Amino acid sequence: MNNKTFLLLFLFSLSFSLSAQQTKEISHYLFPEFTHGTVLMKGGRENPALLNYNAATEEMVFDQNGQVLALSEPSLSQIDTVSINERQFVLKDNKFAEVLNNNGYKLLALYKCRILPPGNPAAFGGTSQTSSVDSYSSWQGDGRMYDLKLPDDFEVKPYTIYFLDNGSGLKEIKSMKRLKRYYNKRKKAFDQYVSQHKPDYEDPEAVSLLIRFIETNN
């Protein structure tokens, strides 16, 4: 390989690397951008807004002339439903949960995430990620809690909590193991579906399909 060919390959790989870095997006929001939606009040009034869900603060937020604000009291308790991209959200203990099913049984998904700030220098040249109150408070006070995209050196770990009610009251489901325990009397149908489809617990659509299968195959 001559020097000219090597230089061209180097420049190409460098360009590809920079492009990959520039397109990397780290977000603690449920939707990639603020989207036109509707806030339906209990009295029937509909309020259009640019909406998104912040999994870090667990708030439904809206864009008002470039300023991000959260839906809060006194209007929060008067909200019936929030609609974004044909997805419905209702209040569960003053947090917005998505309605995955409400026909025959009720299934809600509450979206959360853990934010890990950049690591501090540690022994042997490594880094340790701190979760100290001071570090988290300074990050929150810096306004980045409401940034749509976080810097590349932050780590976002999303997770989901489901709430299920098929006639025995709304139960909290925090893992696939707990979901299996919930359907202990339908263990055969549960194991059959999981073995065949291997649903991801963090995928609401996959979990919704699993539950639908069990509920319709008694």
- pTM for this one? 0.78
Domain limits for position 216: 175-218
Closest CA to 154 of 181, 125, 115, 193: 115
d(CA 112, CA 156): 10
In the chain, how many domains are there?
Answer: 2
What pLDDT sits at residue 175?
96
Residue 7 lies in a domain: no
> 10-36: per-residue pLDDT in tens?
333 333 333 333 333 458 899 999 999
What pLDDT sits at residue 144?
65
Residue 14 lies in a domain: no
205 and 153 in a common domain: no
pLDDT band at residue 1 using 50, 70 and 90 as cut-offs: low
> 61-95: per-residue pLDDT in tens?
999 998 899 998 888 999 999 999 999 999 999 99
What pLDDT sits at residue 71?
92
153 and 189 in a common domain: no
Residue 137 lies in a domain: yes
Residue 78 lies in a domain: yes
Residue 202 lies in a domain: yes
Residue 131 lies in a domain: yes
CB burial of 27-45 (b: ≥16 within 10 Å; e: otherwise) equals: bbbbeeebeebebbeeeee
